[in-house]
Chains A and B, each alone.
Chain A
């Protein structure tokens, strides 16, 4: 007989983990996801009823407006037991409750920064700092953008010295891999993770 949920360490199903890729509009989130994903980035949608988040009451349903929030994501099969999903966070700042769902149980987050529009990534950094979600900042080196010293970016962003800041090219697989590895190493080194 089949049970609805297989137990940890049993059964044929792999366990999934996730990393969030955040940053301002056009910072290269989906590009980074696509550079390392084994599938073409997919898009999933949540239909949000604006006034009913967290409320089950269906009375007055006709007065509520619904909004669709789209999330792009990719997949990396780590081994037969483990799959990594990369979620680009929805850019619209007002959909924080979708971020809450995404951030729950996440390994951590990569905040992609575009030095031409550095303030665009402030809301992401604020969010992860407030939530104590481990994150690193990856400066996406677009063609034509002036190269910056990571320390200058750190100073401009006013982030803690313990948060890694690195340069990357989100179009390149190797570079994007390094960003993800740097995030996980940061988590392993800085957090009191269980063995």
Chain B
């Protein structure tokens, strides 16, 4: 499909077509900085897993841990779409996710001091 379309042509598929119209993920709210890693490759999941190309793209990207925001940026997909796709992958056990800790309150002093040390070492 990329052979006869250039970037100026705009998207060929309306974004939420990829999610079959769903705007909310199944389970989990996938914070922007939740970290995601694939538990295996798309080929291991097999054809029966019902994966769309975008699911496969996420699994390929997440061979190393990446945030939801990074997945969105790398695939040039809105965060909302990525969240729905991640919900599918999580339900199928194809990704591990780690929500930011703590999600609702400020990080602990221990974490803050570790960040200061890390920044100083840059």
Contact = CB atoms under 8 A, between A and B. Distances in A.
B115 A13 contact: no
A42 B116 contact: no
Contact of B65 (A13, A36, A187, A195): A13
| Main DSSP-derived SS at the B contact region | mixed
Interface string B59-83: 0000001010110111000111100
A107 B110 contact: no
Contact of A102 (B28, B32, B80, B114): B32
Nearest to B118: A78
Contacts of B34: 16
Interface residues of B, number: 52
B64 to A, nearest CB: 10
Interface string A72-112: 01011111001111010000000000000110111100000
Interface string A181-195: 100110110010111
A2 to B, nearest CB: 5
A46 B32 CA distance: 10
Interface in A1-50: 1-6, 8, 11-18, 36, 42-47
| Main DSSP-derived SS at the A contact region | mixed
Given A82-B118, A177-B119, 11 more contacts: A17-B100, A42-B73, A44-B70, A46-B79, A68-B78, A71-B69, A73-B69, A75-B67, A79-B118, A105-B105, A107-B115
28 contacts: A1-B93, A3-B96, A5-B96, A8-B101, A11-B98, A13-B65, A13-B96, A14-B65, A14-B98, A18-B33, A18-B100, A36-B122, A42-B73, A46-B78, A47-B80, A73-B69, A79-B114, A83-B35, A84-B115, A87-B69, A105-B31, A105-B107, A107-B112, A107-B115, A185-B116, A188-B116, A193-B106, A193-B107
State the 7 A-B residue pairs at the shortest beta-carbon distance, nearest first.
Answer: A78-B118, A42-B73, A16-B33, A13-B98, A44-B72, A47-B78, A193-B109
Interface of A: 1-6, 8, 11-18, 36, 42-47, 56, 58, 68, 71, 73, 75-79, 82-85, 87, 101-102, 104-107, 173, 177, 180-181, 184-185, 187-188, 191, 193-195
